[in-house]
Amino acid sequence: MIKRPLVWCGIAFSSGIIVASLIKPDFFLLYLLTGLVLVLQLLAKRRILIKDISLLFLSFLIGALLYRNSLILPKSHISHFYSYKNNPVYMLKGFVNSQPEFKDNRTTFVFATEEIFFTRLKLNCCGNVLVFIKGRHDFDYGDQLLLQGALYRPFNRSASGSGQRSYGSYLASQGIYAVIQVKTKAHVLLLPRNRGWPIQRFALCLKKKIETIIYRRLSPVCASIVCAMVLGEKRNISPVIYKSMMRSGTVHILVVSGFNVGIVVFFLVSLLKLLRIPRKPRFFIVLPLIIIYCLITGASNPVVRATIMAIIFIFAYLVKREADIYNSCCFAALFILAIKPAQLFDVGFQLSFASVIAIVWLYPKIKTFLHVEKLKIKLLKFLVDGCLVSFSAWLGTAGFIAYYFKMVSPITVLANVFIVPLASLINLCGFCLVIAEFGAGYLVLNFASATETLVKLLVCFNNFLVSFPQAYFYLP
């Protein structure tokens, strides 16, 4: 029997996706092979070696099959209407499928299409479109709209850096194959029906309220950083601050990740424990709350990974079983890739899982090799542990960062030792600020003042670190 079967199945599944992306095998041939191997797996019975080999081969074929299937678009997909009768102007009916964003004097959102209209023709269609409308418009997730504008294929311009994909390829990996440019609000009709998932609508509504509270209580610069840390909204962060944190290798704290989910779980469990709620009900309360938090932050790969892993560990605790970190991590990866196989080639996916695996696998080995457990001074031991965790994560992700961003940051190990604890405090203060706004208004000013101080300290310390000679350098 294979030890840690999910790990090996995850490797085989990912290999299938990679091979399918390189050689593009015939879909029906893959389908036939998958069926044959599945029959072999069922007939193997007690022949353990055959069952193990067929299981891995089956995982490989399913990965390849799902990847090839994700590239097959239905005939009614919106991408097939680019040049219909050489008419660039279209009318689309559908609903807002993301939280609208306002930047550079235009409102942007993802639009799930349902119908497309021509001069004397109406056709059913499907697929997501990226919408640009000049000016600020207060649409919400689920609003059903009728849009009129120019529909075109996303520009396939190359991003800077040899490791970067084109803009069109990036949108395609997000399931967006078309863009529509709407001139003004006069070309938009809001329909009375509301679409979308109710739980997603609730999560985004809650996100908007939290964002409003943060911007009302904090200065704009501080609020933009707190919103990035707590909600995953980094659109208003100063480019100077973002570039500085990129150079120090600490930009990950501005993106909601497993680190933030861990803080949320810790915060919720501690709060419920303080309210004297029994242990088992406590965890059943936490489960839906972290799922809602995942939706609030946009359900990015790192957040989905951390949420799934948190659920697995909570479930393991309830059934009194010890969860295996490797199997849990691979289960999360398989869950994401089964829905969107192309996410395997996304830099966020790769960095998220590489950092976790590096910490889990490398950190204990380095710690044992250096005999850290023999240190008697607790503060020194804490600092060394922090350095080793940061060093392990840096080793796991340095190759990806060098390839995609052409940059190496030796200062990262030292920066994370001090900045990650600061970021944890900022996250906790941010959550406390929001909760105080709802139930303890007299504490709001205290939390706001503490948050402002911590953010200023973080930014100043980060700028100090990147000023060191050779703190970072770019590759040719």
Domain with CATH 2.40.50.140 in the chain: 78-196
- Residue 145, pLDDT > 50, answer yes
Q: Which two tokens stand for residue 47?
A: 């022949």
- The architecture CATH gives domain 78-196: Beta Barrel (2.40)
- Residue 52, pLDDT > 60, answer yes
pLDDT of residue 377: 79
* 118 vs 46, higher pLDDT: 118
The amino acid occupying position 270 is S
Residues 251-268 pLDDT 10s? 878 777 777 787 788 778
Residues 342-401 pLDDT 10s? 889 888 888 888 888 888 888 888 888 888 888 777 777 777 877 888 888 888 888 888
Burial 112-130 (b: 16+ CB within 10 A, else e): bbeebeeeeeeeebebbbb
* 440 vs 85, higher pLDDT: 440
Start-to-end C-alpha separation, the chain: 48
- Residue 156, pLDDT > 60, answer no
Residue that is written with structure tokens 């996706």 in the block = 17
> If pLDDT is split at 50, 70 and 90, which confidence band does 1 have?
low
pLDDT of residue 452: 93
Q: Could you give the CA distance from residue 468 to residue 463 in angstroms, rounded to a whole number? A: 9
- Quick one: which of 341, 346, 353, 391 has its CA closest to 70? 341
**DSSP H/E element including 266:** helix 258-274
